[in-house]
Structure 1
Amino acid sequence: MQPLNFPEYDFRFKNNQNNILIFDVIRKKFVVLQPEEWVRQHTVRYLMDQKGYPKSLINVEKQLSVNGLKKRYDVVVFSNTGAIAILVECKSPDINIDQNTFDQIARYNLQLRAKYLMVTNGREHFYCKMDFEHEKYRFLKDIPDFSR
C-alpha cells in the first residue's frame, strides 16, 4: 500500500487465500486490506494515538438509514455522554476529495448530528466544525484533541 499523510503506525497483517488482511483494533478482527481500509486504519490510529480518543469511544463501519436508504459510515467517535462527536468519511487515496464528498458526509450528518466532520483520502485531510443553527460548517486546521 502507498504511504499516506499520517504518522507511521505498526499494523498487524496476515495472508488469507491470496488476500492481505489488516487487523482492525476496533472491530477486533482481520479485514481485507483495500485502499479505503488502509486510510480507515490510519485514521483510527491517528484519532487514538495523536488526538487521544479512547478506543472504547470509536466505532467503525456501521449501518445507518439516510432518507430511507441504508448507508454505512466509516468512523464515528462518541463523546463521554454518548453523543456523536466526530463523523469521519474515508476515501481511497486515488479518489480526489471534492464537493460531492462533503455533500455525502453532510447528508449522513443530518441524521447523526456530529459536532465535527473529518474527510480524508489519506493524502489530504479536511476538518470542519458544524454550525447547526446556520446550517453550515467551518473549516478547521485539525480535529480537536480528546478532553474528558
Structure 2
Amino acid sequence: MVLRFPLLLLLLVLWGPVCPLHAWPKRLTKAHWFEIQHIQPSPLQCNRAMSGINNYTQHCKHQNTFLHDSFQNVAAVCDLLSIVCKNRRHNCHQSSKPVNMTDCRLTSGKYPQCRYSAAAQYKFFIVACDPPQKSDPPYKLVPVHLDSIL
C-alpha cells in the first residue's frame, strides 16, 4: 500500500511531459500547427473546419478562432512592436487593423461527431511569435499561438 502512492505520483510526473493539455502534433512545427488551427482565408462552416483540427487531436476542441487572412499577412504582424502576452512572455504582437474571423464553439457531440456554433467577428488579434524552425516559411518570426482577440 505504501508503494502505490509514490508509483502513482511517478506515473503522473512522467505522463505530464508526454501529454500536455495544449500539445501540438509533434510531426508539425508550432507555426504549421498555428496555420492549421487559425488561418482560413475563405470561411468554412465550423463543423467542417473543426473536423480538420479534431482529427489531429482525436477529441472535440471546445473553442477555436479562425482568422480569415493569409499566413503571410498574419506573419507580418510578428514584425510589429512586441507586447506582453497573457503568459507574461514578451513575444506577442497586435494586429494593426481588424480582420474578419470566425469563432467556433462546441455545442454538442463526442469525437468524431463534434458540433459547433459559429460567430462572425471583425476584430484585432494578438499573436505570439517565435523564430522559424527548419521547415517553416523563411520569415524572421512566425506566429505560433493566438493569444487574444480584441
Larger Cα-atom Rg: 2
TM exceeding 0.5 = no
Taking structure 1 as the reference length, the TM-score comes to: 0.30
Larger helix proportion, structure 1 or 2? Answer: 2
Higher strand share: 1
Kindly indicate whether structure 1 or structure 2 has the higher relative contact order, using CA contacts under 8 Å at least 6 residues apart: 2
TM-score, with length taken from structure 2? 0.30
